[in-house]
Structure 1
């Protein structure tokens, strides 16, 4: 795996911005909204997804194994990129949209690196593990949010 200096700097910069946004968003949920860990997992699913990506990003740098990069692809895409289309672009959601944009940019960087490295076997393995590990998490988030719709609406002040 030979990444150029620009590719390395871009990946590290994007990961750093994602980390800062994730910590800020998680702080808001834990300290301002005072949610429990389970509520955080469900109501702020972008943060756990981002933390998994960051852990995989670090594992990729330390082990030089390509299989780590696509491991967080599914939750980052589902909660990050798709969040661009499900959240409004006004009020407090602007901060959430900044996180979604950063998640998407990290995915674009990851996709570019995986394409350039051309390790399709590792990419496929990582993506299959991503599906196996995170489809249950996505199902949990959807179920929990549906069962606690009034609570999330009240907590996030989504109703007028």
Structure 2
């Protein structure tokens, strides 16, 4: 499976922007808010999701196996695309929304590649693995944030 020069360039550019936003967002949580790893996994779920996607993207570029592209679809969609509708579009959330837009653009690029190459079996296998791997993570994030709602509200100055 080969990508055109334009497809590869766009994919790499989107991945680089996602990496920079992920590192910046993670730095904010670790160094400014001083959260621990468990809090980071729950309160900044976009970053772990993006890191998984970036790892899968690199595996795809290296192996040319389209199975890797949809492997991070579920968390990227849940925390990225759906974040566009659950976060406000003001204040500090503007930065988060930039990350959500970039996550969504990466998903659209990967979906386009899967559609263009017509590797539907790899898409189905990757998506099924994504569901199996990330439904427990999503459940953890939802449970942790619900049981620590006051803490997250204070941390993010939402009250």
Counterpart in 1 of 2:130? 130
2: CA distance, partners of 1:155 / 1:117: 45
Unmatched tracts of structure 1, length 5 or more: none
Counterpart in 2 of 1:149? 149
Instruction: Indicate yes or no: 2:58 matched with 1:85.
Output: no
Matches within 5 A, 1:88-127: 88-127=88-127
Deviating beyond 3 angstroms after TM superposition, the runs of 4 or more aligned structure 1 residues are none
Shift of 1:143: 0.0
Shift of 1:3: 1.0
> CA deviation digits over 1:59-85, x for unaligned, max 9?
001111110000000000000000000
1: CA distance, partners of 2:101 / 2:24: 15
RMSD: 0.3
Counterpart in 2 of 1:49? 49
1: CA distance, partners of 2:64 / 2:10: 17
Unmatched tracts of structure 2, length 5 or more: none
Equivalent position SS for 1:18: helix
2: CA distance, partners of 1:155 / 1:54: 28
Counterpart in 2 of 1:10? 10
Shift of 1:2: 1.7
Q: How many residues in Structure 1 have an aligned counterpart in Structure 2?
A: 159
